A and B are shown apart, each in its own frame.
Chain A
């Protein structure tokens, strides 16, 4: 499959700064693309647009030639957020959080080092790194074709960062999932990706 962002422009409200200006990007299921971007350059916004959370002012997002908004139900393009605590409901226990997504193979939770004991906890009872593992697992549902990783490891320690990425690389390679990794760190993207682009 091919995920394509065509001539995307975006700004919040009418009088604020132009965040994205005529930006295009194309990625296939077989590649891991790195997007190097400094903080505040609109990379989160770009990920949100690519995953269908926001509508661009101009331009369009196509998945295999069809606008992404035409895909109803489970979205084949899943985004993993920088701050995992914002994307899980604080009132649900982790088991329910995982169950929200698509069917998950046991292998994924194991590969991410999710311990059975964590499943009965609430988000506030887990550390940032533990929580992020759940968010990654949730985004790797059966019907996922593309994963957008927006600075998913900046808030974690270096060891967790390397653990998470090695699993993610292995998993997307095995299942033919396309990966877009966004980060400010060039050494990281060079380690993770097959190709690195610059947002500016």
Chain B
């Protein structure tokens, strides 16, 4: 077999990561009924071929529960990261184009949000919005846009000063044409990569505030809920309740990171020589 070059490998990696994540999301959705099914005849089983991740104290299949939880996390991540990056795009562009006063205001807000520890602000916002699904999504969205906004602001500022943009103006192109033809193709890849790299943060933070009890409610199948419940049973030697869901969460987050990084490599002409 011909050896693959770096770029093909990167593309393959990206594809594999995305397929895995999509499968988890769909599987979790499909299995959500099964995840709730209790059966006391099979409670507290350690991992075995039949129940890969074992079962919990109510006889629920931990594998199915974990999948459903992850699926939930990914969907929350998707929504929160989407809202967050759109916010970033909007504020970044506004900040760079609407004059000095707006710019200072936006930069001040960015600094403010960045200055407060993420998790603290998240808990505050989530609690204020009544916790649950809504609270988590709003909380994560409102805390994760800052670094992407800063990046986009910088890019736009730099683009505005680029000689080729100014020359385009002298050639009679309107501001809209310049934005569409010159700026969007430059910003889009950055935006896309920023969006994907937001996922891991969003998912981890969702899991952590749920774990701490400020996020999703206990009856929802979330990884954070699974982990916090399993804490009570850990001391009783039921290690599988926390280990497998935890590992799978780490894997999911890592895969999002892989997907984002490989996409960045593929889109960035600067690293076109991988």
A residues near B, CB below 8 A?
Answer: 51-53, 73-75, 78-79, 81, 86-92, 96, 100-102, 124, 138, 141
Is B168 a contact of A91 with CB atoms below 8 Å?
no
Contact of B164 among A52, A75, A88, A101 (CB under 8 A): A88
Q: Interface centre among B162, B170, B172, B181, by most A CB within 10 Å?
A: B170
> How many residues of chain B have a CB within 8 Å of chain A?
16
Chain B contact residues: helix, strand, loop or mixed: helix
Residue B166 CB within 8 A of the other chain: yes
Is A81 a contact of B172 with CB atoms below 8 Å?
no
Is A90 a contact of B171 with CB atoms below 8 Å?
no
In the complex, what residues of B have CB within 8 A of residue A92's CB?
A: 181-182, 185
Is B186 a contact of A74 with CB atoms below 8 Å?
no
Is A138 a contact of B164 with CB atoms below 8 Å?
no
Give Cα A92 to B165, complex, Å.
12
* A-B contacts, 6 listed (Cβ < 8 Å): A74-B170, A87-B163, A89-B181, A101-B172, A102-B172, A141-B171
Is A138 a contact of B171 with CB atoms below 8 Å?
yes
In the complex, what residues of B have CB within 8 A of residue A52's CB?
A: 170
Given contacts A91-B185, A91-B186, contact A86 B171 (CB under 8 A): no
Is B173 a contact of A100 with CB atoms below 8 Å?
yes
Q: Interface centre among B163, B165, B166, B167, by most A CB within 10 Å?
A: B167
9 further contact pairs, Cβ within 8 A, besides A88-B164, A91-B269, A100-B168 = A74-B171, A74-B172, A75-B171, A78-B171, A79-B170, A90-B269, A92-B185, A100-B173, A100-B181
A44 to chain B, nearest CB (A): 11
Given contacts A74-B171, A101-B171, A141-B171, contact A86 B163 (CB under 8 A): yes
Give Cα A79 to B166, complex, Å.
11
Q: Which residue of B lies closest to A96 (CB)?
A: B181
In the complex, what residues of A have CB within 8 A of residue B173's CB?
A: 100
Is A53 a contact of B171 with CB atoms below 8 Å?
no
Is B269 a contact of A87 with CB atoms below 8 Å?
no
Q: Which residue of B lies closest to A123 (CB)?
A: B164
A70 to chain B, nearest CB (A): 14
Contact of B166 among A53, A74, A141 (CB under 8 A): A53
In the complex, what residues of B have CB within 8 A of residue A100's CB?
A: 168, 171, 173, 181
Is A78 a contact of B170 with CB atoms below 8 Å?
yes
Give Cα A81 to B170, complex, Å.
13
